[in-house]
Structure 1
Amino acid sequence: MTSADLLLLIRRLFHMQRTKRSFESPRYLLKWLLISTLIGLVAGIGAVVFYAAIHFATEIFLGRLVGYFPPDPAGEGEHGIMAFWSAVRPWLLPIVTTLGGLLSGMIVFSLAPEAEGHGTDAAIAAFHQGKAVRARIPLIKLVASAITIGSGGSAGREGPAAQISAGFGSLLATWLKLDVQDRRIALATGMGAGIGAIFRAPLGGAILAAEILYRDDLEIEAIVPALIASIIGYSVFGAWSGWSPIFATPSNLAFTSPPQLLYYVLLGLLCGLIGRLYSTGFYGITHIFHRLPLPKWLKPGIGGLLVGLIGLVLPQAIGMGYGWVQVSMGPGLLSLPIWVILLLPFAKILTTGLTVGSGGSGGIFGPGMVIGGMVGAVVWRLCYHVLPGIPDTPGPFVIVGMMALFGGIAHAPLAVMLMVAEMTGSLSMLAPAMIAVGIATIIVGQATIYQSQLPTRADSPAHRLQLSFPLLSTLAIQQAMTPLTFHLSPLQTIAEAEQMLAERNESGAVVVDAHNNLLGVITQADIQRISLVERSQRFVQAVMTRDVLTAYPDATLDEALELLTSHRVSWMPIIDVAAASGGQKVIGVLNAVDIVHAYRATLAKDDRRMRGLVVGTVMIETKVEAGMPLVERPLREAHLPAECLVISIRRQEELLFPRGSTVILPGDMVTFLVSPQGETALQKYLATRNVASAV
């Protein structure tokens, strides 16, 4: 197989019509099986590297400098509860946290300012805006976040893990030249795979990829790719770190007493209220730091100093905090002073805001679950031996608190419930969690911890055109584009190109070789940058733009319009995906005016188009006029085009379901189900008029 044949195979595999985008299509499934596998491998490797980097940084900063190790959850280490003031140099903690903040700030703001803060929100924003993630972001995020967390900053590891694999998904989509929608799905798939791997929760991570993008909606198309990538990432990470869940739970953990649901209602109310406080407090602290008239790289150092000072009084509030959640699930909770348990949820909100809100790098997912778990621990500790029917162990309240608080404030209740269940290795608390999470979600309302979330798909640029102008999503570019009749040669002079553009009143033209393969484009703006004297001496190839926005003829017009508007251009070449030469053979040009004309022409036909219920079909509803070839004759004799079926007839107020003997009359509204290939033949058929019948 030659390189040209291989390139042709790749193009045919990764580019297909939207109507064929279904996992019932073997080709589409194969495409995403390959893409998701690559993303999952990178997610797993990235999780391994990031996990090791955090532990290395913790060993250096907290271990060797301070002499203190926070407790680890049962599935991740052997460090037990260590008295903070028994450390070798506990007084160094504020200095270490300040140093970590400064290092993180200098790395981020000197190399990639967009890596500031928590990476999950940045990945959500990139999804909605359709932006590619710069290649350097994942690496910078990994290093800066490891330093932040390892030096005692209160942050989670999910944001950087999500951004590493989401960044790779975006880069892979760019390399494969996937369309805008597939690029977004690849990015969301990376988010889910990274989080699923680092938390050893592949199912929850995959659902999170679809759920976390919106407050009140789901990105359904992302679920299957994210499931594939997430299990691959989890397998890679698990092969290195082990397969045990992060948290160990009591063996008698179970929900067996329905009256306990009243306590979970109370827990849901508290988690909803404290979830709102978490969001308000975090962004309140963030806004304070943004208004400080100081260099951006210095602010994480100030946040780190304040975190270190709080840690001198309440060391449980520094770091990721998963070890303290583990302690709170068992009898160790009774060994903690009551004032520590009461203050810890609020102190964790404060330290997370100071760490990440100041510009430090790290996630807010992990701290949110720690806060929720400690709220559950507070409820159990205050009610134990006071109210009847309280479980003998705090584990159930801690687990449900983790689910309820962050599931509500993140507007991802299903994903968070599944993730916590996987992290604890137990599904037994899902029943009471449904009550608590539901109530917490109601209390939270429209508040959210992820400000880049949008309400629904209709509010996202990813779907706005499709849902606002559904007609455009049923029309292909090939139905609107102008066939290639005018182009320029790279060896023409700029003066000749200018004259030809002026004669045709064109703003620009494509530049092709002898086989119509795309070389670039040249516009009037390119020409105006060249002096008048040089225009007759220099050639088109010297000034043409080589990095050209292109599209394929089977893409839909809403995708094309989004491409044009997002890149701020008025036209683009259309290339043949099946070009045998291996190059980008130009077959036409599409501009915004063409899209508008096609839209208006379709409306003028007095027919209505919609996506068919059967994948790969379109439904067209049209009003029958006298003279049409199917009028006043049985359907079996109407000689309809191939791949076309009449599915309903509306006659005045009556809805008819046709048979072969049904006769269509003038004025009937007829709905056709037709394949994209047969649509042109159907339109020609309907445009035909029988003169004798019409008279």
Structure 2
Amino acid sequence: MLKKILSNPFALLKYIIRWVVIIIPVGFAIGSMVAFFLWLLNWAIHFRFAHTWLLYLLPVAGVVIHLLYKWYGQSAERGNNLIIDEIHQPGLGVPKRMAPLILVTTVITHLFGGSAGREGTAVQIGGSLANLFGGWFKLNQADTKTILTAGVAAGFGAVFGTPLTGAIFALEVIAIGKLQYNAILPALLAGFVGDVTVSLWHIKHTPYHIDLVDTTQVIYGHQLPISLLLLLKILFASALFGLASMAFEKAIHLVKSFSLRWIKVTWLIPVFGGIAIIGLTYLLGKPDYLSLGVDAEYPGAVTIVSSFQHGGADELSWLWKIIYTGITLGTGFKGGEVTPLFYVGATLGNTLADLLNAPVSLFAALGFIAVFAGATNTPIACTIMGIELFGGQYALFFAIACFIAYLFSGEGGIYSAQQAATKKMNENKLHRHYLRRMFAKYKLKR
């Protein structure tokens, strides 16, 4: 159908006008709701900063979230995975209650100190509102898939201020190794409109900065555009970023499966999760790993922003954030995974920069996007995110970090509904079979 449209200029013009008319109100609605969510989330986080005793009510907040989803959630409990499934094959639809329910429960999680993100909320807001508009416009099944993809793009682009990343993420996250280009125009437009709408509501995004790094190297009088030593350090760090992605995903699944197996009364699961978060915070003696980890609760706190400076993270900050977020999301609290992934990556990058004598801000930025790429299996979108957030000067390093992390993160990811169009390493089984045969021959010769 797309080829027919492109071969006919009038059909192409009609196609473009139709989707512009559909996407502008959708993107504006999603951007407006994301702006309200970001404003409310910022209020909740800073209110807890001023009232630290709220952390001790986290178990109670968990019960409230559990009951809200039990009474009103229904299929909305599946969150991002439901939207991905609906894009694969529209079925029961995305419930209208998903958007307000995830917004309220995410704010509750952060108000009482749970370690979670905001991307999941924005994506679910985008999917829910896009599905609502799809019903109003009476779209067919194919167009419903497209508008849902556009909704994801608008939500993601709006929440992080990265419209192009939002569009590519929406296309790339559906299936590993495959991009659905038939939705590219609506996704790009939706990401742009959502981002502009958030700006119109005067919501500001956190700025990040990479210090100027000399990446050249002189060998025998010849200047190379890339330092080979720096490249080796980036390759090594990127492999560790991929392993951190896998650890993050496994931590959430491990906590969830352990809780369901050993805690038979389901409303007690978030109670124990909340108690664990309180206990860890008491033992560590600081609240750095609660909530988003973007704004500092006190001077000297470890945050994503501080990780771009020398000494801005502890050696194990990345591990503690994995544990905190695994407990929070694994026991039923709500929010996204991406901002905690940013935190894990930036703090791990900070630590590795010290160990490898590498540029701190550059490695924090590489970890920021690479851990995210490995956990979501979206290396292209994350490379573009690096360019949108940090500039294009280090685009090659961004691509290397994201794709190496993607390869080292395993076959899974944080979205169970994500399909695998292609495997990351098709030769793995062949290599293992070959090695086993060689080893068997060697034993026979001996």
Relative to the length of structure 1, the TM-score reads: 0.55
C-alpha offsets along residues 380-436 of structure 1, whole Å, 9 cap, x if unaligned? 12233xxxxx32xx1100001122112122110111122233234x22222112222
Q: Who is 1:377 aligned against?
A: 350
Cα distance in 1, alignment partners of residues 106 and 5 from structure 2: 37
Does the CA-based 8 Å contact 1:116-1:360 persist in structure 2?
A: no
| AA of the residue aligned to 1:369 | F
**Pairing of 1:15-414 with structure 2 (within 5 A):** 20-22=4-6, 25-60=12-47, 62-66=48-52, 92=53, 94-116=55-77, 119-131=79-91, 132-241=93-202, 246-252=206-212, 255-256=215-216, 257-259=226-228, 260-312=230-282, 313=284, 314-323=286-295, 324-331=303-310, 333=312, 336=313, 341-384=314-357, 390-391=358-359, 394-414=360-380
Q: Shift of residue 19 of structure 1?
A: 6.5
The aligned counterpart of 1:453 is 418
Q: Report the CA distance between 1:295 and its aligned residue.
A: 4.1
Residue pair 1:197, 1:233 contacting (<8 A) in 2 also: yes
Whether the aligned pair in 1 keeps the contact of 2:66 and 2:267 (CA below 8 Å) is yes
| Paired AA for residue 148 in structure 2 | L
Retained in 2: the 8 A contact 1:161–1:198?
A: yes
Q: Return the alpha-carbon distance in structure 2 between the equivalents of residues 197 and 254 of structure 1.
A: 33
C-alpha spacing 1:94/1:103, structure 2 compared with 1 (3 Å): same
Aligned to 1:666: none
Deviations along 1:131-174, whole A, 9 cap, x unmatched?
31111110111101111123211111011111111111111112
RMSD: 2.2
Q: Given the superposition, is the C-alpha separation of residues 122 and 316 from structure 1 closer, same or farther in structure 2, using an over 3 Å criterion? A: farther
Q: Is the 8 A contact 2:130 2:148 kept in 1?
A: yes
Structure of larger gyration radius: 1
User: Aligned partner of 1:321: which letter?
Assistant: G
For residues 163 and 255 of structure 1, the distance between their equivalents in structure 2, rounded to whole angstroms, comes to: 40
Moved more, 347-356 or 288-297: 288-297
Higher strand share: 1
User: What is the CA-CA distance between 1:253 and the residue it aligns to?
Assistant: 5.1
- Alpha-carbon distance in 2 for matches of 1:298, 1:196: 36
1:419 aligns to 2:412 (yes or no): no
Question: Residues 56, 294 of structure 1: CA spacing in aligned structure 2 closer, same or farther, 3 A cutoff?
Answer: farther
Deviation at 1:343, TM superposition (A): 2.0
Contact 2:117 2:337 in 1 (8 A): yes
Q: Residue type of the partner of 1:428?
A: Q
- 2:345 partner amino acid: G
Q: Which residue of 2 aligns with 1:628?
A: none
Whether the 8 Å contact between 1:250 and 1:330 is mirrored in structure 2 is no
Change (3 A) 1:354 1:235: same
Q: CA deviation at 1:229?
A: 0.8
Match of residue 513 from structure 1? none
Deviation at 1:444, TM superposition (A): 2.2
Give the direction of change, closer, same or farther, for the CA distance of 1:453–1:163 in structure 2 (3 Å limit).
Answer: same
Structure 1 residues 286, 255: CA separation in 2 closer, same or farther (over 3 Å shift)? farther
Partner of 1:646: none
Q: Is the 8 A contact 2:244 2:409 kept in 1?
A: no
Question: d(CA) in 2 for partners of 1:126 and 1:255?
Answer: 45
SS at match of 1:317: coil
Q: Is the 8 A contact 2:63 2:268 kept in 1?
A: yes
| Relative contact order, higher structure (CA 8 A, sep 6+) | 2
How many residue pairs end up in the alignment?
399
Structure 2: unaligned runs, 5 residues or longer: 217-225, 296-302, 423-446
Q: Distance in 1 between matches of 2:273 and 2:117?
A: 16
Question: d(CA) in 2 for partners of 1:421 and 1:19?
Answer: 31
Instruction: Map residues 504-583 of structure 1 onto 2, 5 A cutoff.
Output: none
SS in 2 for 1:177: coil
Amino acid of the residue matched to residue 272 of structure 2?
I
Cα deviations by residue, 1:165-197 (Å, 9 ceiling, x for unpaired):
111111111222211111011111101110100
CA distance, structure 2, for counterparts of residue 95 and residue 445 of structure 1: 37
Q: Does the 8 Å CA contact 2:59/2:274 hold for their aligned counterparts? A: yes
Task: Report if the CA contact (8 A) 2:241-2:371 is conserved.
Answer: yes
Give the counterpart letter for 1:166 in structure 2. G
**Partners of 1:402 and 1:310 in 2: CA distance:** 24
Letter of the structure 2 residue corresponding to residue 258 of structure 1: S
Q: Aligned letter for 2:306?
A: V
Listed as ranges, the matches of 1:545-624 within 5 Å are none
Change (3 A) 1:18 1:438: closer
Distance 1:266 1:231, change over 3 A: same
Shift of 1:276: 1.4
Structure 1 residues 373-382 or 438-447, which shifts more?
Answer: 438-447
Contact 2:54 2:111 in 1 (8 A): no
Equivalent pair of 1:105/1:298 in contact (CA under 8 Å): no
- Maintained 8 Å contact 1:116/1:359: no
Q: Structure 2: how far apart are the matches of 1:266 and 1:232? A: 38
Structure showing the higher helix proportion among its residues: 2
- CA contact 1:192–1:230 (8 Å) conserved in 2: yes
Tell me, in whole angstroms, the C-alpha distance in 1 between the residues paired with 2:113 and 2:57.
8
Q: Distance in 2 between matches of 1:288 and 1:126?
A: 29
